[in-house]
Every structure is written in C-alpha cells, then in structure tokens.
Amino acid sequence: MNQARPKVRRSRALGIPLTPKCVRYFENRPFPPGQHGRARRKESDYKVRLLEKQRLKAQYDLREGQLRRAFDRAVHRPGKTGEELLIDLETRLDALVLRAGFARTIYQARQTVSHQHVTVNGRRVDRPSARLRPGDTIAIAERSRHKAPFLAAAAGAHAPARPAPYLDVNLAGLAAHLNRLPARAEIPVICDEQLIVEYYSR
C-alpha cells in the first residue's frame, strides 16, 4: 500500500512525517522503507549531514539550488549561519501561507501561490520563493476567496496547532501580517541546522 504513496515512503526514509496524511503511516512503520529498513546501520558522518540537509529540503519542498542559495545568503549575515538559514526559509511566501493556515501542506501552499491566489501588500505574487519582510501583509485574493479550499481555510480547517507568534493572522478574513522575523525556537521544522552548515562547509 505504501508503494503507491511516495510522500509516505519519503517520510519514512527521512524519519519525519511530511504531510498530515503521512503521520498515521509513519507512526505505524517508523523506519526506512525496504527489506533492510528495520536493520540498525552504522552511518558515516557525511551521510548523517546529508540526511539532515534532505530533511530540511523536504520540509520546505526545495530544490538543491534553492537551498544552496539560501545558505550562501545566510553565511553573509551577522547571526549564526544555521539560524539565519532557517529564518531565510521561513520568510518565504509559501512557508508563511502554510503557517497562516491558508493551506494544509507546503505543497498546497506552493500551488496556492503559483496559481496567483495570494497577494502581498495588495498585489498578486506568484513566486513561492518571494521573501517577506516585517510589516508585509499576505492575503488570499478577493476573486479566490469563494473557492472551496479557502472557505475551508477561513473556517479554520488548516489552522496550525501552535500559531506562529511572528504572524498576526485573521483567518476569517484570510489575511496575515508578518510582525517580525521569527526566532529559531519558533520555527516548526525538525532540523539540526548545525549539521547542514557542516555539510555545506566541508
């Protein structure tokens, strides 16, 4: 059954559920897929760091080049590189659409943006990778609000269990305001960012 669910297999391979639907399957089989999935394997330092990078990529649904560019930006910022990397990724438009509760998964959030359902400060933006700054407001475009996914979102169907404290969200109005940059402890990704810094710094 899991063979037909690539996100379930990927969740098991990475050790984290990537979508709400994956949670039940992941909890039932919390080990990598394949006949040797249950076996205890000694992993090299390189593989440990590679896996951590892949986990971060999957949680934001990024391509390698996108993550590498984000890392290069983080290196040139004054804070800790790993934390700056996560802050950079968390202020992507698709990530904030997800955190606001306007989409159920990062994949749906990306599609929502690319299909021009989202505005930033009143203007439609179709680039999921667009970065927001404190003071920016995102909203579902007026012409899209009657669509079933956004009616569900406005009713709270996708609201996160722990609201993002750096966002001021008006779910009924399908709008959210980025008050400030997130702190590392507030970013809900499963990641040891130092291992990713070590991977790219090797």
Tens-place pLDDT, residues 132-169: 999 999 999 999 999 999 999 999 999 998 999 999 99
Could you tell me which CATH number the domain at 93-180 has? 3.10.290.10
Q: What is the pLDDT of residue 202?
A: 85
Q: What is the pLDDT of residue 5?
A: 67
Checking if the pLDDT of 97 tops 50, the result is yes
Residue-averaged pLDDT of the chain: 88
CB proximity list for 78: less than 8 A, separation 6 or greater: none
pTM of the complete model = 0.82
Percentage with pLDDT > 90 across the chain: 77
Q: What is the pLDDT of residue 44?
A: 87
- What b/e string do you get for 85-103 counting C-beta neighbours within 10 Å, with b at 16 or more? bbbbbbbbbbbbbbbbbbb
Checking if the pLDDT of 8 tops 80, the result is no
Are 49 and 64 spatial neighbours (Cβ–Cβ below 8 Å)? no
Q: Domain locations in the chain?
A: 1-41, 44-91+188-202, 93-180
One-letter amino acid of 64: E
- Rg of the chain over Cα atoms, rounded to whole angstroms, equals 18
Q: What is the pLDDT of residue 4?
A: 41
Checking if the pLDDT of 184 tops 90, the result is yes
Cα separation of 192 and 189, whole Å? 9
pLDDT digits (tens, 9 = 90+) for 35-72: 444 555 667 899 999 999 999 999 999 999 999 999 99
Could you tell me which CATH number the domain at 44-91+188-202 has? 1.10.1050.10
Map residue 83 onto helix, strand or coil: helix
